[in-house]
Amino acid sequence: MIEIRRLTAASDINALAVFLEKTFDESRPLRTAPLTEVPAGLVALAAYDDSQLVGGLVAYELRLVSGAVEFYLYDIAVDTAFRRRGIGKALIQELRAIAEKRGASTIFVEAEEDDTEAVDFYRSLGVEELRVRHFNIPLE
């Protein structure tokens, strides 16, 4: 049975970061150094099959100048051997519950158009899809 847990220890969040790197098979690491403390506003959720980490997400709580609260879903992944079992949806449901308790008005997430697996997943949630452009401003 899959269990969703909120991670609060830096060591557990570091293990999730390693899992996400492996799952995404990124050419660049998602982190530069292990966390020694958990940043304010970070929400990390992990899905376990017994003691095996099989999925997870990282989100950030954003407090706007207006006082509104929104959540940004930064990463979500499920091990390929455990996909299509509702784990991603269970992670999203747990994030929704946390966001609602914090008084958030929305959770937003970006997906690249050519990442059809991610786009199909978000569409399967029955959520509003917006057409926006994402710009990265490089730092020198």
Sheet holding 69-78, edge to edge: 2-7, 42-49, 52-63, 69-78, 106-109
pLDDT (tens digit, 9 = 90+) per residue, 82-138? 999 999 999 999 999 999 999 999 999 999 888 899 999 999 999 999 988 888 898
In this prediction, residue 32 carries a pLDDT of: 66
Strands (E), the chain: 2-7, 42-49, 52-63, 69-78, 106-109
Count other Cβ atoms within 10 Å, centred on residue 19.
17
Domains along the sequence of the chain with CATH: 2-124 (3.40.630.30)
pTM: 0.90
Between strands 106-109 and 69-78, the pairing is parallel
pLDDT (tens digit, 9 = 90+) per residue, 31-87? 667 888 898 999 999 999 999 999 999 999 999 999 999 999 999 999 999 999 999
Q: Is 79 helix (H, G, I), strand (E, B) or coil?
A: coil
Whole-angstrom distance, CA of residue 86 vs CA of residue 100: 21
What percentage of the chain has pLDDT greater than the value 70?
94
Between strands 52-63 and 69-78, the pairing is antiparallel
Q: What is the token pair recorded at 33?
A: 């150094």
Q: Using an 8 Å Cβ cutoff, are 58 and 107 in contact?
A: no
